[in-house]
Amino acid sequence: MKFSKLSQLFLVSAFGLILATLLTACQLVSIDIVYVADSAGTSAGSAGQIQTFAADAGSGALRTAEPIVSSGGTLPVAMAVTSDETNLYVANQGNKTVVHFTIAGSGVLTQKDVVTLAAAPVSIAVNSAGTYLYVISGTTSGTLTEYALSSGTIGSATATIPLVVPGYATDTILPTGVAALATNAAVYVTAVDKSAYNPGGVTTSNANPGWIFGFSVGSGGALTVTSGSPYQSGVKPSALATDPTSRFVYVTDYASNDLIGYTVQSSNVLNFMVNGPFKTGDEPSAITIDPRGIYIYVANSLDNSVSAYSIALPTGTPSTVVNATSSSGNGTDTQPVSIVVDPALGRYVYTANYLGNSASGFKLNPNTGALETNQATPYPTSANPTAIIAIPHGNHALQTVTP
């Protein structure tokens, strides 16, 4: 049986359409853009950089999405993004800078402005309104600096506050983490009194070693110390996170392997949660809360694991999530130091592994909070990744992860 040229053309066109449809169906669809800050080499002076990955909607697997860009300095240690996902900030310890990047719809980063600090930055945070950038800095004395933001651009410093423990004015206070309430009403800073806690060295103070400083944010960004601040916070607080409803603050204690919980009272005062502190893995170094505000994840840097907790409402008490898929816990690559939950769907968790030169990925069970190892994890990065952060990519229903 012979076909006319028109019939042959029709068959070829139909076959091409079917093939194109199949190829399109096989393409990976990304739900998040994941940024990893790391060093390009292994030496202390190696240039900093930011790598861009896309998270697959179906598996959570990471793949390279855009070319690597310079972090604008050396030894990047922290990143933050505005709530509208259009601006990213990176803190570089090596040259004491905080660098601002704009984020294109595709995830491409473009460097814009830079501020240079008097001391090396340790951590940064942006309030949910996108109006203030908070920077903690100092390796011999701690300082909180608040910068005004205008359409993402870093403006002048609106407040600069030395971190001092009352009664111990000469103690060396080293900041470790900073976070702002989602209501924009307050900002909190964790810090260690090195004069009172100095393993392998000499101590010169009998003060409590761990603290969390609280500041209410007023008109024009004015910062006022909250009543009772600073609050005791274990031995060596290493990181902190606030929940999406601004009712709870959680702090990891690196030295005691604990998670410390606080409730936010009127005037942004903090009170210890009952039944705390709560156990973590060894040397917890980073913490994140899922976008719905019902699960907490802690990266444990010494035993290379992630601890998972559910938040009991309305008290905020964290309860350990039992992972039925793994008797050995949620293992990562070597030395996880930063952790994030994907903001688009709240279904994946990623860690930056400093000594593993990689990012580890987990699938989050939205009904239980349990984690399951992602496909092909860990994902290679450049040397010594120190920070990981994510933004939604594409048209995704964020209301599914809104408290």
For the chain, give the secondary structure using H, E and C: CCCCHHHHHHHHHHHHHHHHHHHHHHCCCEEEEEEEEEECCCCCCCEEEEEEEEEECCCCCEEEEEEEEEEEEECEEEEEECCCCCEEEEEECCCCEEEEEEECCCCCEEEEEEEECCCCEEEEEECCCCCEEEEEECCCCCEEEEEEEECCEEEEEEEEEECCECCECCCCEEEEEEEECCCCCEEEEEEEECCCCCCCCCCCCCCCCEEEEEEEECHHHCEEECCCCCEECCCCEEEEEECCCCCEEEEEECCCCEEEEEEECHHHCEEECCCCCEECCCCEEEEEECCCCCEEEEEECCCCEEEEEEEECCCCEEEECCCCCCCCCEECCCCEEEEEECCCCCCEEEEEECCCCEEEEEEECCCCCCEEECCCCCEECCEEEEEEEEEECCCCCHHHHCC
pLDDT class for 293, splitting at 50, 70, 90? very high
Assigned domain for 156 exists: yes
pLDDT at 22: 36
Q: How confident is the model at residue 24 (pLDDT cuts 50, 70, 90)?
A: very low
Find where tokens 């964290």 sit. 318
The predicted pLDDT at position 29 comes to 83
Range of the domain at 214: 31-401
Asked if residue 259 is part of any domain, the answer here is yes
pLDDT tens column, 273-290:
988 999 999 999 999 999
Q: What is the average per-residue pLDDT within 216-230? A: 97
User: Residue 44: pLDDT band by 50, 70, 90 thresholds?
Assistant: low
Is residue 309 a part of any domain in this protein?
A: yes
Flag whether 80 is in a domain.
Answer: yes
Does position 34 have pLDDT exceeding 70, yes or no? yes
On the question of pLDDT at 142 being above 60, the answer is: yes
Q: What is the pLDDT of residue 47?
A: 86
Give residue 1's pLDDT.
39
Comparison of pLDDT for 394 and 315, the residue scoring more: 315
**pTM for this prediction:** 0.91
**Once rounded to an integer, what is the mean pLDDT over residues 124-147?**
96
CA dist 213 and 144 (Å) reads 10
Look over the chain and give the mean of its residue pLDDT values, rounded to a whole number.
Answer: 90
At 394 the pLDDT is: 72
Task: Look at residue 24 and tell me if it is in a domain.
Answer: no
Instruction: Judge whether residue 264 has pLDDT over 60.
Output: yes
- At 325-379, the pLDDT tens digits run 555 579 999 999 999 999 999 999 999 999 999 999 999 999 999 999 998 999 9
Does residue 207 have a pLDDT over 80? yes
17 occurs within a structural domain: no
Residue 243 lies in a domain: yes
- Report yes or no on 77 lying in a domain: yes
CA 265 to chain centre: 25
Q: Which amino acid is at 391?
A: I
Name which of 60, 62, 128, 50 is nearest 344 in CA terms.
60
What are the pLDDT digits (tens) for 92-113?
Answer: 999 999 999 999 999 999 999 9
Q: How many domains does the chain have?
A: 1
Cα distance from N-terminal residue to C-terminal residue, the chain: 65
What CATH code is carried by the domain that includes residue 169?
Answer: 2.130.10.10
What confidence tens digit (pLDDT) does each residue in 360-369 have?
Answer: 999 999 999 9
Q: Tell me, what's the pLDDT at 15? A: 43
Contacts of 243 (CB under 8 A, 6+ apart): 182, 249, 250, 289, 293, 311, 316
- Name the percent of the chain lying above pLDDT 70: 88
Q: Is the pLDDT score of 7 beyond 80?
A: no
